[in-house]
Amino acid sequence: MSKLNELAVAVESGNVADVVALTKAALEEGVAPLDVLNTGLVEPINVLGEKFRLGQVYVPELLVASKAMKMGVEVVKPLLVDGGAEAKGKAIFATVAGDMHDIGKNLVVLLLESAGFEVTDLGMDVEVDDIVDAVQDDPDVQIVGLSAMLTTTMYAMKETIEALEEAGLRDKVKVIIGGAPVNADFASEIGADGYSANAPLAVELAKKLLNA
Ligand code: B12
């Protein structure tokens, strides 16, 4: 079994020690950091997601696997973030209120930072008012990234856009959205400036919106 396959198995079974060791080993073998991230660390979460949907695994398994994945991401992170990259723009990111899913949002933040964006990550379960305050408090912010993974929380994105409008801040920023239950149609329906299905496309979207 290749190191990446071994790593994926370790993530799926939530074995933190093995994940850290195998992430290092794969990198030492010369596997590209982005491949370690996508194939070794993220793909097993998608595999588990399908098993969860089919009722073959439950929330505790997802939690330990997510934790293990995050520990692996910490090992890869310094290799992805290019400290010398010219600043491309400033963004604020949040997973919306009521939603505790942050893996996808964290990946988008990671790749944006590695592409040279400065990102303030407000975390998960972030209230609309806190997002508006963060935009208000930072004169340089150009992008607001909103993530939602639940059909019950995706409407908080619409509320956020409406609240930005009410605060007179809507024209100051481009709002981009992502997460499993949303798509480009939903983005235009709620008046967002863009949607992307994954982290690399989110970087392209941010660059395009800012002409960076
Ligand atoms: C891991 C996981 C969890 C973990 C989350 C851990 C964490 N720290 O994030 C835990 C165990 C906590 C969890 C809890 C729950 N979960 Co859950 N979870 C998942 C799972 C399996 C994977 C999500 C994930 O991380 N995917 C991997 C990442 C890389 O992909 P991603 O999130 O889609 O992100 C990418 C893109 O969407 C995009 N993107 C994401 N955000 C953004 C933002 C912007 C601006 C842009 C441009 C792009 C972008 O780029 C990302 C990177 O490429 C999904 C299944 C699935 N298929 O999505 C269910 C899923 C989302 N969960 C689900 C459910 C039901 C729950 C619970 C209600 C379960 C329960 N009974 O308690 C709770 C809800 C808790 C809450 N209040 O939020 C359902 C939602 C169903 C629905 N219709 O709403 C899903 C779809 C599973 C299912 N099929 O039933 N979950």
The average confidence (pLDDT) of the chain is 94
Q: Which CATH superfamily is domain 89-210 in?
A: Cobalamin-binding domain (3.40.50.280)
CA of 85 to the centre of ligand 1 (A): 31
Q: Which residue has the tokens 């991230």?
A: 37
Q: What is the pLDDT of residues 138-185, one digit of tens each?
A: 999 999 999 999 999 999 999 999 999 999 999 999 999 999 999 999
Instruction: Indicate the class that CATH gives domain 3-80.
Output: mainly alpha
Partners of 195 in beta bridges: 177
Nearest atom in ligand 1 to 48's CA: 21
CA of 101 to the centre of ligand 1 (A): 5
**CB distance 138 to 92 below 8 Å:** yes
Nearest atom in ligand 1 to 93's CA: 45
Ligand 1 site, CB within 6 A? 42, 45-46, 48-49, 52-53, 59, 62-63, 66, 98-105, 107-108, 145-147, 149-151, 176-181, 196, 198-199, 202
Predicted TM-score (pTM) of the model is 0.93
Query: Which residues belong to CATH 3.40.50.280 in the chain?
Result: 89-210
Distance CA 30, CA 187 (A): 39
Query: Which residues belong to CATH 1.10.1240.10 in the chain?
Result: 3-80
Q: What is the pLDDT of residues 85-99, one digit of tens each?
A: 577 899 999 999 999
> 212 pLDDT band (50/70/90 cuts)?
confident
Q: What is the pLDDT of residues 35-44, one digit of tens each?
A: 999 999 999 9
CA of 46 to the centre of ligand 1 (A): 9
